[in-house]
Chain A
Amino acid sequence: MLNIGGLHEGFVLDHIEAGRSMEIYQYLNLDKFDCCVAIIKNAKSNKMGKKDIIKIECSIDEIDLNALGFIDHNITVNIIQDDRIVEKKRLSLPKEIKNVARCCNPRCITSIEQELDHIFVLTDPKKEIYRCKYCEEKYRRKKK
């Protein structure tokens, strides 16, 4: 068991697929946060064998959970307030995400008009397929 004591308010992102914590760090723009962030790689897990964990000490309004659902909806979000886990949140696939991922299609209008939001829409929940709202290019997840 990992001790999450000492976190007064914030999140513990648990059950991250081993090796994906840095990807999530970047998606959530955690490098821009001034708060304390701890990344635990390859922690032992009964359920997953190995897993990553991210501990973020910040106000609970500051993280875009919608984006997190898009990145990996199997992640468990433990919300900490007053040094206690107040909620274990399961994520779902968001219907639409804005400015979390960029469209890589060189023919997409977003490739030349920089002020446009990059919006992806969930077109197939079963296969977890997202497509660019403008050009319908499929979002391709980065390979580990």
Chain B
Amino acid sequence: MRHLMSPLDFSVEELDQLLDLADDIEMHPQKYAHACDGKKLATLFYEPSTRTRLSFEAAMMNLGGNIFGFSSAASSSAAKGESVSDTIRMVSCYADICAMRHPKEGAPMVASAVSSIPVINAGDGGHQHPTQTLTDLLTIRSLKGRLDHLVIGLCGDLKFGRTVHSLVRALARYEGVTFIFISPEELKIPGYIKEDVLEAQQIPYKEVERIEDVMSQLDILYMTRVQRERFFNEEDYIRLKDFYILNNKKMRLAKEDMIVMHPLPRVNEIAVEVDKDPRAAYFRQVQYGVYVRMALILTLLEVHVC
């Protein structure tokens, strides 16, 4: 039995297979409509999420399976003080697979250690968000045709942005990828990503503060939101939340085939006017998220569709 804690849990070859399966699901959705008949997905969301939870639920429903779960810690037995380990032991008796989001980092790993069903990390604090990474990889591969030899700019909250951390780790495994980190001093990419992932493998990267200085070099611009819930101090949040706003003026500096991605929800870091630009890929990214979660559920449940 396998779990998904980090995007690195899959080898590059396994990832290719997963993305191929997601491609096939996109092309032939009917073929998979009953692949998970009688199976149940538990969505254990200890903190609010619209997109990820609905994406998992849509994915399981598209496969013919059923869903149940909770969408905040207040509506779970965590409010009564139940540990993550006890909750997953209980849920293992009800469901075939579970997706867990938790504000505390490492909570899904604690669950996976005692679970008798596959556990998918659906986001743990500022740490990892592997299914968003799978979504991002599928989006990049589908829209750029490759995962190697790309210049990717990651912009905004790179300190607490778990999607960024997971994506960097995943893309670092492909040849010829260059990272450009665009952030204010206070929200820079953590040292452990630079030291353990990039410098350890001699992967080129640079850190800049102004988006305009690097826009023309990018194949992909990955925007992120400055998340209020990651700050202990409201003043810091207010000071940094509007640091970067992508608009049509900045988009004019970019390559014609660059794509703009965003894990969503956006607040105001991408002006609405950019939505009409054909390079805006963030809503297509949402659709790819459903396909890749369907592929993941099938893979972890070891369901094979001929």
Q: How far is the CA of A136 from the CA of B110 in the complex (A)?
A: 13
The stretch of A55-63, A72-80, A126-134 in contact with B is: A126-134
Min C-beta distance of A126 to chain B, whole Å? 10
CA distance A118 to B195 in the complex (A): 23
Residues of B within 8 A of A132 (CB): 106
Picked from B85, B104, B196, the residue with its CB within 8 Å of the CB of A123 is: B196
B196-A124 in contact (CB<8A): yes
| Number of inter-chain CB pairs below 8 Å | 55
Determine if A107 is an interface residue (Cβ-Cβ < 8 Å). yes
B125 engages A113 (CB within 8 Å): no
Q: How large is the interface on B (under 10, 10 to 19, 20 to 34, 35 or more residues)?
A: 20 to 34
In Å, the complex CA distance between A138 and B127 comes to 13
Contacts of B211 in A (CB 8 A): none
Tell me, in angstroms, the Cα distance from A94 to B126 when the chains sit together.
28
Contact B83 A113 (CB under 8 A): yes
Q: Is B101 an interface residue when CB atoms closer than 8 A count as contact?
A: no
Let me know if A107 and B105 touch, CB within 8 A: yes
User: For residue B165, which residue of chain A has the nearest CB?
Assistant: A136
Which A residues are in CB contact (< 8 Å) with B125? 107, 135
Chain A positions within 8 Å of B192 at CB level: 131, 136, 138
Give CA–CA (A78, B144) in the complex, Å. 62
- A136, B127: Cβ atoms under 8 Å? yes
Tell me which of B103, B109, B110, B195 contacts A107 (CB under 8 A). Answer: B103
A115 interface residue (CB < 8 Å to B): yes
Confirm or deny: B102 has a beta carbon within 8 angstroms of a beta carbon on chain A. yes
Instruction: Kindly state the separation between the CA atoms of A109 and B191 in the bound complex, as whole angstroms.
Output: 21
Q: Is the CB of A135 within 8 A of B106?
A: yes
A108 and B195 contact, CB distance less than 8 A = no
CB under 8 Å from chain A, chain B span 98-118: 102-107, 109-110
Closest to B106 in A: A134
Chain A residue at minimal CB-CB distance from B83: A113
Taking the nearest CB of chain B, how far is it from the CB of A47, in angstroms? Answer: 31
Contact check: which of B105, B191, B195 meets A135 at CB < 8 Å? B105
Q: Which 7 A-B pairs have the closest CB atoms?
A: A134-B106, A135-B105, A109-B104, A109-B106, A109-B107, A107-B125, A135-B106
